[in-house]
């Protein structure tokens, strides 16, 4: 089954990819690795999801934000490759959580993205990962996630 068929089976629609928000590109390919720039969560209307995890935003809400960020990463990936079927595996995910100093459940938040990758890619979605807390993220977003994928030529 193609990954696009898998997305349809799961009822997943990928968001539109806008231009980068700074002096960078969405993705850089080096050999058979594709490095995706960090992305943040947007709701269905395209508004960025902001706030402090552990204060205005619960861990469960932030986990949903991480899933939304994963959807954007998949949208960038499909735009860059033309198809998600070229993905051999998810290699590495770095998840950053804008959280209060007392908050300590960063891995559970980033599971929102990791679980999505497993759901979409199956065993190819298993990856190495780091999940860290940050004192701030661009425009106050709750999470920022970047990823590395091994791809077919």
Residues 6 or more apart whose Cβ sits within 8 Å of residue 96: 38, 132, 133, 134, 137, 143, 144, 145
pLDDT at residue 98, as a whole number: 98
Percent pLDDT > 90 in the chain is 96
CATH number of the domain at 3-16+26-151, please? Answer: 3.30.1330.40
**With 0-12 CB in 10 A as exposed, 13-18 as middle and 19+ as buried, what is 37?**
middle
pLDDT at 2 over 90: yes
pLDDT at 134 over 90: yes
Q: Mind listing the pLDDT tens digit for each residue in 88-132?
A: 999 999 999 999 999 999 999 999 999 999 999 999 999 999 999
How far is it, in rounded angstroms, from Cα 109 to Cα 32?
29
Tell me how far apart the alpha carbons of residues 28 and 148 are, in angstroms, rounded to a whole number.
10
Spell out the domain ranges in the chain: 3-16+26-151
Give the pLDDT band of residue 14 (cuts 50, 70, 90): very high
């Amino acid at each position: 089954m193609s990954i696009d068929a898998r997305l349809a089976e799961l009822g997943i629609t990928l968001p539109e990819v806008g231009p980068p928000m700074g002096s960078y590109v969405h993705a850089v390919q080096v050999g058979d690795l594709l490095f995706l720039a960090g992305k943040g969560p947007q709701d269905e209307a395209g508004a960025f999801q902001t706030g402090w995890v552990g204060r205005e935003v619960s861990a469960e809400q932030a986990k949903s934000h991480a899933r939304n960020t994963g959807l954007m990463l998949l949208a960038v990936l499909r735009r860059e490759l033309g198809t998600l079927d070229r993905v051999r595996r998810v290699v590495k995910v770095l998840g950053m959580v804008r959280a209060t100093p007392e908050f300590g459940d960063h891995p559970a938040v980033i599971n929102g993205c990791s679980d999505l990758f497993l759901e979409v890619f199956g065993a190819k979605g298993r990856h190495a990962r780091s999940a860290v807390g940050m004192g701030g993220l661009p425009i106050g977003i709750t999470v920022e996630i970047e990823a590395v994928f091994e791809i077919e030529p």
